Amino acid sequence: MSIEIIEKPLPTVRLAARRRVVRSQPEIAGVVGPAFDAVASIIGDECGSLQTPIAQYASNEDGTEVVAGYAYNGPAQPGFELIDLDAAETAVCGIHLGTMDRIAVSWQALHNEIIARGYTPDGPCRELYVRAVSDDQSDWGTELQQPVTRA
């Protein structure tokens, strides 16, 4: 699979989000969607918040920590955490078009390009769901974002 790859900085982003550690890759889909739904039901569309859904994934000794929520500048409320995603000076990014069952192929292409450009991953990766509003995932667009440093 071929995807267009760019390099850019990532800003700090405050999320209204839910966090959970999962032990296996197949569990992620069952966590992300419900987390977005739960947070959306609490914050509604305050200041256009629901226009910026983001998930972050970080591997640790217990599995993968999944953080899923919306860019948010409102007050803390019961039912979600305020989580700050760190800025990154350089990230390698690409757009995955289509269904989530093929996103691993796009991530592999992105990581191959990271290595080819002389970088190494540096911190949790993010997915910014640019277009993910219909039940038909074939028209979804997801920006894959991996902070990097020079190898």
pLDDT at 46: 65
Point out which residues pair with 119 in neighbouring strands: 150
pLDDT at 2: 67
| Residue 20 lies in domain | 5-150
Are the C-beta atoms of 135 and 106 separated by less than 8 Å? no
pLDDT at 133: 73
Instruction: Count how many domains the chain has.
Output: 1
pLDDT at 125: 98
pLDDT at 132: 75
Are the C-beta atoms of 17 and 50 separated by less than 8 Å? no
pLDDT digits (tens, 9 = 90+) for 103-123: 999 999 999 999 999 999 999
Question: What is the pLDDT averaged over residues 79-101?
Answer: 94
The reported pTM is 0.91
- Separation in Å, CA 29 to CA 11, 16, 78, 127: 25, 19, 24, 13
Residue 74 DSSP class: S
Which CATH number covers residue 98? 3.20.80.10
pLDDT digits (tens, 9 = 90+) for 2-61: 688 999 999 999 999 999 999 988 899 899 999 999 999 999 876 666 788 999 999 999
